[in-house]
Amino acid sequence: MTDSVGVVATQRAVLTQRGPLVLASGAALAHVEVAYETYGELSPARDNAVFVCHALTGDAHAAGWHEGARRPGWWDNLIGPGKALDTERFFVVSANLLGGCSGTTGPQSVDPATGRPYGPDFPLLDMADFVTAHRGLLDHLGIDRLHAAVGGSLGGMQVLEWALQEPDRIDRAVLVAASSRLTPENIAFSSVARAAILEDPDFHDGRYADHGASPSHGLKIARMMAHITYVSGTSLEAKFGHRRATSGTDKRLGADFEVEDYLQHQGESFLRRFDALSYLHLTRPMDYFDPFGSHPDVVPSTRFRLLSFDSDWRFPTAHSLRIRDQLAARGVAVDHTEIASPWGHDSFLLEPPGYHDLVRGFL
């Protein structure tokens, strides 16, 4: 297709060739690899780079197709020739998060000191650590300054942290359905998800791999519950209504409605691509994230574009307005638009009217 970047492959960069990666906690990782993909061509002046930060369960594969894949990258509708992130103009970089399970160093990676997977001994992470790895990748690629950084949900939180860490490195920042501080409700949902994993009998204090086991039941429940928060009541009603998935005898205590089958499918498919320890390590930094408190006097030169969706109840518009007001109070250039969409938080992955046009115009 002419609007696709085509077949792509994930690459890996070693960030610790000159020394360990020191985390916000003071812990250090002796060997760190980052999985990433790039789309488009870097200009001779190296001034057209756009960094894409993914959400909680995303990965480096944001656009194009892997060989033999049945579906494209998770933001393929936004990235490609002529799209909002136009790869005929921009050199787009997408990287997997530190602590993840899709090629970047994380809990199931081998600890060089022991020769065994880190497991539960993997150090606790901070939002700043995600950005430290991103910065290291940019240095590896020889890119000093970004034309833009773009992220949705947790991705937008990373972009905000980055702009405050390096106030002169990012020209433009696009934050979609993001937050600068979670509400108690947000933290509560994540806490229940983590409890489902931690209390699974097969968790084995995080050493489940040593036991040839996996806390798959807990991880499945965590995903099912989280997925409910990513959609909206309107979208669930339109897709499923009160329809039953089966005919004949009531299942009663088992899954009987179409929406239940849908959540079962979401949970089962998640198990094929995600690790329980990574889920724990990537959700917790969101709870502690408070960048305006951590960087009280920083005034980034970055221009910000904030987008939220009227049906998003996970990170509703109030979260974006808090970011807007905090940045504006520091004299930072910032604009916000609330977009009408029936799809809830997941709208940032879709194409509600006007959304991609606003991104394209800002970039």
Model pLDDT, residue 245: 84
In a domain, 208, yes or no: yes
Do residues 42 and 163 both lie within one domain?
A: yes
Cα-only R_g, the chain: 20
Do residues 67 and 171 both lie within one domain?
A: yes
Do residues 64 and 104 both lie within one domain?
A: yes
Site of tokens 């489902």: 196
Question: Please, how many CA atoms are within 13 Å of residue 87, restricted to the half-sphere of its CB?
Answer: 24
**Final residue before a domain boundary, out of 283, 305, 338:** 283
Do residues 201 and 300 both lie within one domain?
A: no
Model pLDDT, residue 250: 66
Q: Would you give per-residue pLDDT tens digits along the chain (363 residues)? A: 468 999 999 999 999 999 999 999 999 999 999 999 999 999 999 999 999 999 999 999 999 999 999 999 999 999 999 999 999 999 999 999 999 999 999 999 999 999 999 999 999 999 999 999 999 999 999 999 999 999 999 999 999 999 999 999 999 999 999 999 999 999 999 999 999 999 999 999 999 999 999 999 999 999 999 999 999 999 999 999 999 887 656 667 788 899 999 999 999 999 999 999 999 999 999 999 999 999 999 999 999 999 999 999 999 999 999 999 999 999 999 999 999 999 999 999 999 999 999 999 999
**Final residue before a domain boundary, out of 283, 301, 321:** 283
In a domain, 343, yes or no: yes
Binding-site positions for substrate read 223, 346
Element of type H or E holding 267: helix 258-271
**Final residue before a domain boundary, out of 257, 283, 309:** 283
The 10s digit of each residue's pLDDT in 72-120 is: 999 999 999 999 999 999 999 999 999 999 999 999 999 999 999 999 9
Binding-site positions read 223, 346
Do residues 234 and 192 both lie within one domain?
A: yes
The C-alpha atoms of residue 166 and residue 194 are separated, in whole angstroms, by: 32
In a domain, 49, yes or no: yes
Give the tokens for residue 224.
């099912």
In a domain, 258, yes or no: yes
In a domain, 1, yes or no: no
CATH code of the domain containing 312: 3.40.50.1820
Active-site positions? Answer: 153, 312, 345
> Which segments of 58-189 are extended strands (E)?
79-80, 85-86, 91-95, 110-111, 116-117, 146-152, 170-176
Of 306, 362, 357, the residue nearest 83 (C-alpha): 357
Domain that includes residue 231, residue range? 186-283
The C-alpha atoms of residue 277 and residue 287 are separated, in whole angstroms, by: 16
Do residues 34 and 166 both lie within one domain?
A: yes
Q: Is the Cβ–Cβ distance between 356 and 305 less than 8 Å?
A: no
CATH code of the domain containing 272: 1.10.1740.110
In a domain, 6, yes or no: no
In a domain, 5, yes or no: no
Do residues 236 and 164 both lie within one domain?
A: no
The 10s digit of each residue's pLDDT in 258-311 is: 999 999 999 999 999 999 999 999 999 999 999 999 999 999 999 999 999 999
Q: In what order do the strands lie in the sheet with 49-53?
A: 11-14, 33-39, 91-95, 49-53, 146-152, 170-176, 303-309, 334-339
Do residues 169 and 218 both lie within one domain?
A: no
Do residues 213 and 165 both lie within one domain?
A: no
Question: Which pTM does this prediction carry?
Answer: 0.96
The C-alpha atoms of residue 76 and residue 70 are separated, in whole angstroms, by: 13
Percent of the chain with pLDDT over 90: 96
Model pLDDT, residue 332: 98
Do residues 130 and 247 both lie within one domain?
A: no
Domain count, the chain: 2
Do residues 86 and 214 both lie within one domain?
A: no
In a domain, 84, yes or no: yes
Do residues 255 and 296 both lie within one domain?
A: no
Model pLDDT, residue 249: 63
